[in-house]
Amino acid sequence: MTRQLAPLALGGHRVWPPVVLAPMAGVTNQPFRSLCREFGPGLVYVNEMIMATGLVHGSRKTRTMLHFGPDESFRSLQLYGSDPEMMTRAVHLLGREEAVDHIDINFGCPAPKVTRRGGGAAVPLKRNLLRAIVSGAVEAGAQYGIPITCKFRMGIDDDLLTFVDTGLICEESGAAAIALHARTATQHYAPSARWEAIAELKQAVKSIPVLGNGDIWEAADALRMVEETGCDGVVIGRGCLGRPWLFRDLVDAFSGTSPRVTPPLGEVLDVMLRHADALCAHLGEDRGIRDFRKHTSWYLTGYPVGGEMRRRFSEVSSLEQLAQLAGMLDRSLVIVDGGERIARGHTNGPIKVVLPEGYLDHLDDMTVPDDAAVVALSGG
């Protein structure tokens, strides 16, 4: 029997079960979120990461990423930025335009390009800078009723663990909740997430919800994470890639309903085609179908369709061709044993995380990292 969880409070909004779709750059755009929401209405689905500087400077590309559908009554967005002033201005801008209902801040980006300049996962090392970013965003958000949450990793590596301090600083600065991706930046996406860090953070941070993130592939993993760590809710990343019905399974699991079997390939293909249609309507067919190629491999993961078919899907160039390819597959195929747990999306790690020269000698300073290099990166 799983511990009964309280709804997640984000401002005046209550979310139950406390399940959040993780922001994933290049993935969690409006068509993907809407599809996930069909399976799990009422949960939090976070938009792709958006650059605070891009927003403030009126970048067209950033603007086009700020897109919510009519079904999105609770609009959630992740902001990236390492400059307190830019972040505060971006929150004001979003608030004045009544563009969002919740903002998450990304402090976990491990990309070498970013950390080399002191941005992303390097920011939590500079506690004063971190505090200034979070408290500025919280103060600005409060003027418009926008709650601010923060998502971060365990630290740079095992010698530079920052997550407990980061959690405490976010709590003191007025964040509504925090989420820990239980890996260091050096781990990148491998090896496994270290849920014991979530438990440690939960012990330390008493007054705001602590959400756990990392390696929830099936609904049972979420229940286990809650049991093992005491966390107040879960954040779902790669587990839902090609498997948006994971959100239905999570609602079932937290409601005490027995798990459903993973759908046969036919049902998966029907969802895949709907997703492709929606993405092409959103981005235009040419761009949409190219962007969709990665999704085909995620939808087919675990189904024994053969390497040649996978390759053909990965080169698909129109919606019509996608439907033709789907029509060639045996709809009765079932997923292989353990197929749900095959890692998708990013899988590599560890990586070498580079900090600016002398960065660790001046951890109290407030030098603002240059965010220019982070544009078009895949965030977390």
Ligand X SMILES: Cc1cc2nc3c(=O)[nH]c(=O)nc-3n(C[C@H](O)[C@H](O)[C@H](O)COP(=O)(O)O)c2cc1C
Alpha carbon 124 to its chain's center = 18
- Token readout for 378 is 């895949």
Considering only residues 224 through 283, tell me which ones interact with ligand X, judged by CB under 6 A.
Answer: 236-239
**Nearest-angstrom CA–CA distance, 123 and 130:** 6
Per DSSP, helices labelled H in 192-329 are: 195-204, 219-229, 246-255, 265-283, 285-300, 307-314, 319-327
**Nearest-angstrom CA–CA distance, 65 and 67:** 6
Q: How far is the CB of 237 from ligand X (least distance, A)?
A: 3
Q: Which is nearer to ligand X, 26 or 230 (CB)?
A: 26
Q: Of the candidates 102, 126, 151, 243, which one interacts with ligand X according to CB under 6 A?
A: 151
Q: How far is the CB of 144 from ligand X (least distance, A)?
A: 22
Q: State how far the alpha carbon of 161 is from the alpha carbons of 36, 101, 226, 229, in Å.
A: 33, 31, 22, 18
Q: How far is the CB of 96 from ligand X (least distance, A)?
A: 24
- 109, 150, 231, 280: the active-site residue: 109
Considering only residues 115 through 144, tell me which ones interact with ligand X, judged by CB under 6 A.
Answer: none
Cis amide linkage into residue 17, ω under 30° from 0: yes
x/- mask, ligand X, residues 30-59, rule CB under 6 A, reads: -------------------x----------
Q: How far is the CB of 255 from ligand X (least distance, A)?
A: 21
Q: Of the candidates 30, 53, 82, 106, which one interacts with ligand X according to CB under 6 A?
A: 106
Q: Which is nearer to ligand X, 117 or 181 (CB)?
A: 181
- Candidates 16-24, 67-75, 122-130, 248-256: pick the segment binding ligand X (CB under 6 A): 16-24
What 326-332 contacts at long range (C-beta under 8 Å, 24+ apart), as own/partner pairs, is 326/269, 326/272, 326/273, 329/265, 329/269, 329/305, 330/265, 331/264, 331/265, 331/266, 331/269, 332/264, 332/265, 332/266
Q: Is 36 a catalytic residue?
A: no
In three-state secondary structure terms, 51 is strand
Considering only residues 75 through 94, tell me which ones interact with ligand X, judged by CB under 6 A.
Answer: 78
Q: Of the candidates 7, 11, 263, 345, which one interacts with ligand X according to CB under 6 A?
A: 345
Catalytic annotation, residues: 109
Binding interface with ligand X (CB under 6 A): 22-27, 49, 78, 106, 108, 151, 181, 193, 213-216, 236-239, 345-346, 378-380
